[in-house]
Structure 1
Amino acid sequence: MKRYLYLWHRWLGIGLGTFMALWFLSGLVMLYVGYPKLTPREHLARLPPLAQQQCCVPVSQVLTGEGEAPDSLRLTTVAGEMRYILRHGSRIQVLDARTGEPLGPVDEAQAVASARQFASLQNPQYQRLVNEDAWTHTRSLDAHRPLHRLALDNGTLLYISSQSGEVVRDASPTERIWNRAGAWLHWVYPLRGGALDDWWTDIVIYLSLAATLMTLLGLVLGVLRWRFTRPYRNGSRSPYRGFARWHHVGGLLFGLLALAWIFSGLMSMNPWRIFTSSAPLDTSGYAGGELHAAHFPLAPDAALQQLQARGLQARELHWLLIGGRGYLLGVDAEGNSLLLAADGSAVLEALPDAVLLDAIQEVSPGVQLHVERLAAHDFYYYPRAEHSMLGHLPRSLPVLRVRLDDPEQTWLHIDPRSGTIVNTLDRRQRASRWLFALLHSWDWLPLLERRPLWDGWMWLGSVGGLVISGSGMVLGWRRLQRVRSRRVVPARQRPC
C-alpha cells in the first residue's frame, strides 16, 4: 500500500509541481497588486458635482408606472451630461436627465467623451469594442457588455459601458504588468476567452482537487519517512540528501500551510455549489414596495439644494425605498452621504434602528430578529486592502447585524447611514468564510490589523511553499530523465 502512496504522490507532483510553484509565486504578487477594477471611491472622485439649477425633469417623468418598475434609480453625470440610470435586474436603462428622453446604446464618440470626463488631463484614444478580454473577466461587468476600450496617454486602459456610457473599469500599465505574474496567472486566466473557456471552472476545480490530494499524500509520506526516535545511519532523521532532503524537511515544516492554501483555493471556486444555499433569503421585501413616483414628491434640484445647505456637494443622487418609505441618498466625491426624507421634511445622517428593523421584518414576517449593533469590525464583518479581491466593498461602522431564525440562519448587515443591506451571510456563506477567506488570505483581524505581521506570515508560508514545489519540480524532472534514459536502447544493443 505504501508503494502506491509514493507512486501517486510522485506522479501527481510531476504533473502539478509547476502549477503549485506558479500559484505560490503569483500569490506573492497578489499581496500587493490586485486584479484591475474601478472602486466606488475612484468612480465618485472623477464625477463633477451635480448641477442644482434646473438640473432635471421630475421623477414622475422617469418612474412613469409603465412597464416593470426598476430595481434602482440614480442620478449621475456621464460624458459631461446628467443622466438618470435605472437598473432592471441585469438590464440598464438610461434617460437624459434634462429631457427625460431615453438614450440608446453608447457609440464611439460618446465613449471618448466619457473617458475625457474621467481623465480630463489625458487624451483618450479609442481602440475597439470588446466583449471580454484579459482585464474584464468578471461577471459584475456582464450588464455593461460589450465594452468600449480606450487608451490614455499614460498607458491606462479604460473600459466604457456600451449601455450606460460610464467608465466601469480602468487598468493601469503597472497593474497589467504585475497581473501577468499575479492574479491573471493565479486564477489560470490564460485559459479564459479561448477554446477552453467553457471548461475553465472545472479545470481549476480539478487541478486544485488533485493538488490537495498530492499535498496530503506528501504530508503522510513525510511523517512516515521521518525518524522521530532512532536516526538513520548518516545521523539524520531524514533518509534523503540534496533536493530530496529540502523537499522532505520543507514539506514537514510548511506542508500543513501549503495544504490549507491549496484546499482553500479549491473552496474559492465553490466546487459543486457546496456554499450555495438551496433556499436563499429573498430581501426584496425590505423595500416594502416598488419604486414609483408617488413615493418621491421632492424635486431633484430641491434635494440637491438641501444637501448643499448641509455641506454635502453631491456627485450622485440615489432614490431608495425602505419599508415603504421614500428617501434620497446624496453621495459626495469622498463617499460621504446624507439621507433626505422623500418629502423634504428632514435631512438625516442615519436612519433610526426602528425604521430599519421594521423593514427587515417584512423580509421574513413572523421570524424572530436578533439585533446587534457593531461599533468595531469582527470575524464576519471587516475591511480588506482596496486592491484585494473584495477590498473595494465598504465596511463602514457602526452597522446593524440582524440574525434571522429562518431555515438558513441568515445574517444581515445594514448600514444605518445609507439604509442599505451591505451583505447577507447564511450558514453556508459563513462556512465559506472559514474554509476560503481565513485559510487562503488569512483574513484574521489580529493579523490584518498588524500588517507587517500579516505580510511576514504570508511571505514565510509562500517561500516555504516555493521550497516544496521548487524542489519537487527538480525531483520530478530527474525522475522523467531516468525514465526516458531507460526507454532508450543503445544502438549497439539493437538487433540487426
Structure 2
Amino acid sequence: MSHSDMAEMPRRKLSPPSAAALSKTAKRWLYVFHRWAGIALCLLFAIWFFSGLVMLYVSFPSFRAEERVATAAPIDWPQVHIGPDQALATLGLTAFPSEMRLGMTGGEPVYLFVTSDGRRAVSARMGDEITQIAAPHAVAIASTLTGAPTASITTVDHDQWVVTRAYMAMAPFWRIRLADAAATDVYISQRTGEVVQNTTAHERFWNWLGAIPHWIYFEVLRVFQEPWRQTVLWTSGIGILGAIAGVWIGLLRVRLRNRYKSGSASPYRNWMKWHHVAGLAGGLFVITWVFSGWLSMSPWGGLRDKGQSDVARLYGDARLGFPTTDLAMLVRVGAGAREARFTYVGGQPVISLWSRGRPRLLDGRTARPMTLDQGRIITIARAVIPGSTLTTVERLERPDRYWYSTGDVRDDSRPLPVLRFKFDDPAHTWLHIDPATGALLGQIGSGDRSYRWLFSALHSLDFPWLLIWPPVRHILVWLLSSVGILISISGMVVGWRRLFRT
C-alpha cells in the first residue's frame, strides 16, 4: 500500500474511557493504596493508640517551675550580699532578660538569668558570674532534691531525656544518678548549676511504652529537629489518607438492605470482618485522631499564632537594668521564700516571692508589699497590643473552654482567678493576667483558639463536658483507643497475610 493510499484511509478515533471503566480503575487503586498503606503503617497505628493510653497516666518527664519551687530550699537571706541591680549589671546585657530569679543552688544563693543568648548565673554572695560547675558542686545540688546520696555521675551533651532544642541551649549537663528507691536521675547544667530535668525509673520505663514511641521521640532521630518533624508529618499524613480510603472502601462494601448470602452486611470473614466492622464503627475517630496529631507538627506553618514573645517583651520593660532594691527590707519580708523573681509590670519594677501557695508581690525598689488593683492592670493591658482596642475584660473564677487543665503535669499552669482581656486586633488576641501579681500568664489568638479544638479536643478529648467528669473522659478514651487498636491489629494481620502469601 502506497503512502498516498494510506493517507486517504480514514483515521480511527480513540474513544474516551467510559465512566464505568474510570470508576473501576479508581476503585482498584483505592484498594491498592489502602492495602499497602495498611501493610506499612498498621503496626505504627497500633503502637500510637497503645502508647496514647500509657500517656494518659504517665507523662514525659519535665522539671517545671512548680516542681522547682516545691523542691527548693528556702533562700538563705544572710548570704545574699548582692542586690538584683548589681547582679544584672555584672552581665552587661543589651536587653532585659526574659527571666530573672533568685534561688538556692547547692547551699548558695544564685541569680539565674534567661537571655536571648542562653542561661547565665551570678552568685548572690560574691557577685561574680558562674561559668563552670564542678562535679562535687553538682553532687551537692542534686542531693538537695531528695536528700539521697549519689550513686554515679556522668557528663552528657544530650540523651533521651534532654534532647530537644531548648535543652541544647543549656548543655552540657551533669547526669547524677541518686541512690534512692526511685533511681532518680538529675540533670544539672555545667554552666549555671541549674537543675533542668529529673527522671525516675518508673518514668523512664513507662515512657519507652508511652511518649517515646507515640512521638517517634527516639534520641537518634529527635536530636535533628527538621528530619524528626518531617518523619512524623509524612507517616501521619499517609496514615490519614490510608484511613480515609479504608472508610470509603468499608462503605462501598457494606450492605444494609440486600445483604450477602451469609445474611451479614459485610462480605468478609474472620480477621477481615473484624477489620471491616471496626473500621466502620471507629474509622471517623481514627481519621480525626491522626489528623490532629499531624496538625501538631505545624504543616505549612500551622495554625498557631505568631509574635507571642513580642507581646511578652512589650508587657515587660525596654530598659536594661533593675533599680537598686532595699536589700535589708527584702531580707526581712522574704523569710521563708524559696524563690524571688524580678521583672517589670507596666514599667514598674516588681519582685514576686514564691513558696508553696500564692506568690507575694513587692515593690522592686522598697521591697515593701504591694498590690495591683484591677484598674491599674487594665491600664497596663491596654498598652500591650499596639494599634488595637481593648473590647472586653472578664474575671474567670472557674475553668472555661479556653482556660482549663486536664490534670496533665505537662500542661501550662492555669491558676484561678484570672483576668481575660480581649482585643480587636487582626488576631483577636486574648491576654490572661494574674490579678494578684499582674503577670502575663498566657496569650491566645484566633489561630490558637482554632488549634485548641482541632488538636486538643480531637486528640485528647478535652471537651468541656468531659473535663467535668474525668472518669467518663478516661473511659471514652479507652473505648475509642481500643477500637483503634482492633482496626490496626486486624489490618496488620490481613495485610501481612496477603503480603507473605504473595
TM-score of the superposed pair, with normalisation by structure 1 = 0.90
Q: Structure 2 unaligned runs (5+)?
A: 1-25
Change (3 A) 1:191 1:223: farther
CA contact (8 A) 2:163 2:222 kept: no
Q: C-alpha distance in 1, partners of 2:33/2:482?
A: 25
Verify: 1:363 aligned to 2:384, yes or no: yes
Identity %: 35
Q: C-alpha distance in 2, partners of 1:280/1:326?
A: 22
Verify: 1:381 aligned to 2:403, yes or no: yes
CA contact (8 A) 1:280 1:408 kept: no
Q: CA deviation at 1:359?
A: 2.1
Change (3 A) 1:208 1:449: same
| Post-superposition CA distance 1:167-189 (Å, at most 9, x none) | 21111000111111110111112
Verify: 1:398 aligned to 2:398, yes or no: no
| Post-superposition CA distance 1:268-326 (Å, at most 9, x none) | 111221224466572112124325233x5322x42242244xxxx20011112111111
Aligned position for 2:100: 73
Aligned position for 2:264: 236
Aligned position for 2:122: 95
Aligned position for 1:139: 165
Q: CA deviation at 1:459?
A: 0.2
Q: C-alpha distance in 2, partners of 1:466/1:357?
A: 50
Residue identity in the other structure for 2:316: A
CA contact (8 A) 1:399 1:414 kept: yes
Q: C-alpha distance in 2, partners of 1:196/1:395?
A: 31
Helix, strand or coil for the counterpart of 2:77? coil
Change (3 A) 1:452 1:132: same
Q: C-alpha distance in 1, partners of 2:162/2:379?
A: 39
CA contact (8 A) 1:132 1:193 kept: no
Helix, strand or coil for the counterpart of 1:213? helix
Change (3 A) 1:82 1:134: same
Q: Which of 199-208 and 139-148 deviates more?
A: 139-148
Q: Structure 1 unaligned runs (5+)?
A: 484-496
CA contact (8 A) 1:307 1:338 kept: no
CA contact (8 A) 1:191 1:197 kept: no
Aligned position for 1:354: 375
Q: CA deviation at 1:408?
A: 1.7
CA contact (8 A) 1:27 1:182 kept: yes
CA contact (8 A) 2:427 2:446 kept: yes
Aligned position for 1:494: none
Residue identity in the other structure for 1:128: T
CA contact (8 A) 1:317 1:328 kept: yes
Change (3 A) 1:278 1:158: closer
CA contact (8 A) 1:108 1:126 kept: no
Q: Which structure would you say has the larger Rg?
A: 2
Aligned position for 1:492: none
The 5-angstrom pairing of residues 278-317 of structure 1 reads 282-283=310-311, 284-294=313-323, 296-299=324-327, 301-308=328-335, 313-317=336-340
The 5-angstrom pairing of residues 206-245 of structure 1 reads 206-245=234-273
Q: C-alpha distance in 2, partners of 1:214/1:336?
A: 50
| Post-superposition CA distance 1:181-215 (Å, at most 9, x none) | 11011111236458976511101100000001111
Change (3 A) 1:168 1:345: closer
Q: CA deviation at 1:394?
A: 1.2
Aligned position for 2:282: 254
Verify: 1:107 aligned to 2:129, yes or no: no
For residue 351 of structure 2, the aligned residue among 325, 328, 337 is 328
Q: C-alpha distance in 1, partners of 2:158/2:300?
A: 25
TM-score of the superposed pair, with normalisation by structure 2 = 0.89
Q: CA deviation at 1:59?
A: 2.8
Aligned position for 2:456: 437
CA contact (8 A) 1:289 1:321 kept: no
Q: CA deviation at 1:43?
A: 1.3
Q: C-alpha distance in 1, partners of 2:282/2:67?
A: 39
Aligned residues: 471
Aligned position for 2:11: none
Q: C-alpha distance in 2, partners of 1:478/1:343?
A: 75
Q: C-alpha distance in 1, partners of 2:416/2:495?
A: 52
